[in-house]
Structures are given as structure tokens and as C-alpha cells.
């Protein structure tokens, strides 16, 4: 039962995180303050925009709150809880020779790099994200139906897989470029394109990039649009196809590039 085994390992990793929090309380509260500060800045940014216009790309202020809430929830809890902090540290892990110990562990190396460092400092911000989504649904009186809700979860799950794969691909470049700290940050910054309604991107080259080449648009932008504006079946199908393609591609890239790793003892 491999799934059960890895689930138990992950629960132990979360437990270790809470032990670390009790040891370094000041650091935890500083991180929490940074996350809340980012959330406040995001809300101020959108409120300034909507103080000048009534709509942005066909989205009202109350509708935009759903996208903002989903983005906050996704980045502060889902990404951090699952994989971002571990993959973000991969250049450091490789350059300090710590990857040797990961390869020696009786678990999949990609699993441990991805899930080995849960980051729960954004938990409070993620709850605010949920509040913003509920607030938006109430204010806009969106009529939810089963098809839209199911489509939302399919696209969102696909977007999560795509986002994870992109993070792995960008991070794994450290095996080619050992000092590629910047590449990892670039990979994370690309995710910001999903913070905005997809129809603000008018340039066809940019749309091909965001929907096909680096399809981060399926992480929060398209799922939010599915709830607020209704399901687009072309986007639904494309999200599943892209998730499948990137999942296969990412495993091939990771397994190939890991073989390039030179042990710190060699």
C-alpha cells in the first residue's frame, strides 16, 4: 500500500513542522506577518483599481474577490502545504550535498523533495481566502449548479497538477545549472499570471504560452471563471489534457536530470 505509506510519512513531516514552530516561534510569527502583509497589499491593489473603474475584463469588484480569494487560498495553503517550500530549496539542497541523504532514503526522491518541508505559516491567510470566496458568492448571488461545481474541481485539480509539474521542471534545472536559484524564483513568479482573469491577455502569442506552453492559467483563473461565469468545455478538456501531458513529461525530465547529479562525496 504505497499510498498509505507515503500518507503516513507526510503526516510525520507535518508533525515535525509543528515541532519546529514551537522551537522557533519568533521566526514563525515573522513569516505569518509577511504572508498577511502580502494579502493586504493584494486587496489594496484591487481596491485601488476598482475605485477608478467598474469592471476589469468583464469582472466586477465582487466577482474579482472570488478570484483573489481562490488565489490566496491556493498559494498560501495548497502550494505551501504540499510542495513549494521544498522545491524552492532544491538548489540549496543540491549545492550543499544534502541531496545525497535524500537519495539514500527508502522513499521516492521527488516525493521527499516536494513534500519534505511543509510550510504552514500561510494557514491564517488561506482562511481569509476562503472568506473572500464565500463573500463573493453571496454578493454576486451566483447560481451554483452541479455541472459548474464539478467542472471547477476537475479544472482546479488539473491546474494543481500542472502547477506542481512546472515547479518541478523549473527546480530540476539545478541539476544542469547548479547555481540556478533565479530559475526557481522565475518558475514561481510565472504562477502570478493566473491571478488575473484570462481574458485580459489579448496577445495571441501570450495566450498560447499561458494555455499550452506554460499553462498556469488553469490553476486559479480558469477555475474561478468556471464558477463565476460558467463552464467552458474547451477549457475543461484542455486542462485535463495539459495535466496529463505535463505529468508524464515531468516524470521523464526529473528521472533524466537526477542522473546528472554528482554526489558531494564524489
Whether the pLDDT of residue 117 is over 80: the answer is: no
Task: Give the three-class secondary structure for 84.
Answer: helix
pLDDT digits (tens, 9 = 90+) for 37-69: 777 887 888 888 888 888 888 889 889 999 989
Residue 84 cell numbers, joined: 513549494
Q: pLDDT at position 121, please?
A: 64
User: Facing residues of 202 across strands?
Assistant: none
Q: Give the start-to-end residue ranges of the domains of the chain.
A: 21-258
Mean pLDDT of 31-38: 71
Give the C-alpha separation, 252 to 235, whole Å.
26
Give the C-alpha separation, 73 to 134, whole Å.
12
Out of 14-18, 79-83, 242-246, the most confident range is: 242-246
Residue 98 cell numbers, joined: 544534502
Q: In this structure, how many other beta carbons lie within 10 angstroms of the beta carbon of residue 67?
A: 25
Identify the helix (H) or strand (E) that includes residue 59: strand 59-60
If one compares 262 and 213, the residue with the highest pLDDT of the two is 213
Q: In this structure, how many other beta carbons lie within 10 angstroms of the beta carbon of residue 122?
A: 27
For the CA atoms of 69, 72, 78, 81, the dihedral, rounded to the nearest 10 degrees, stands at -140
Amino acid at each position: 500500500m504505497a499510498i498509505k505509506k507515503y500518507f503516513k510519512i507526510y503526516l510525520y513531516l507535518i508533525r515535525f513542522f509543528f515541532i519546529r514552530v514551537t522551537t522557533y516561534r519568533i521566526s514563525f510569527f515573522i513569516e505569518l506577518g509577511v504572508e498577511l502583509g502580502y494579502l493586504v497589499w493584494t486587496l489594496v491593489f484591487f481596491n485601488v483599481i476598482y475605485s477608478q473603474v467598474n469592471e476589469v475584463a468583464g469582472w466586477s469588484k465582487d466577482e474579482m474577490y472570488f478570484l483573489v480569494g481562490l488565489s490566496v487560498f491556493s498559494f498560501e495553503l495548497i502550494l505551501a502545504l504540499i510542495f513549494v517550500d521544498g522545491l524552492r530549496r532544491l538548489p540549496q539542497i543540491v549545492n550543499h550535498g544534502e541531496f545525497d541523504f535524500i537519495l539514500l532514503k527508502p522513499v521516492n526522491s521527488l516525493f521527499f523533495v516536494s513534500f519534505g518541508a511543509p510550510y504552514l505559516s500561510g494557514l491564517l491567510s488561506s482562511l481569509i481566502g476562503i472568506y473572500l470566496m464565500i463573500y463573493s458568492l453571496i454578493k454576486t448571488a451566483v447560481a451554483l449548479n452541479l455541472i459548474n461545481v464539478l467542472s471547477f474541481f476537475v479544472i482546479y485539480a488539473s491546474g494543481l497538477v500542472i502547477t506542481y509539474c512546472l515547479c518541478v521542471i523549473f527546480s530540476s534545472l539545478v541539476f544542469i545549472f547548479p547555481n540556478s536559484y533565479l530559475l526557481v524564483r522565475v518558475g514561481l513568479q510565472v504562477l502570478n499570471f493566473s491571478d488575473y482573469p484570462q481574458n485580459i491577455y489579448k496577445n495571441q502569442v501570450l495566450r498560447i504560452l499561458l494555455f499550452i506552453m506554460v499553462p498556469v492559467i488553469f490553476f486559479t483563473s480558469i477555475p474561478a471563471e468556471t464558477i463565476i461565469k460558467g463552464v467552458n468545455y474547451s477549457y475543461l478538456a484542455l486542462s485535463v489534457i495539459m495535466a496529463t501531458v505535463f505529468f508524464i513529461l515531468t516524470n521523464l525530465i526529473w528521472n533524466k536530470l537526477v542522473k546528472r547529479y554528482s554526489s558531494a562525496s564524489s
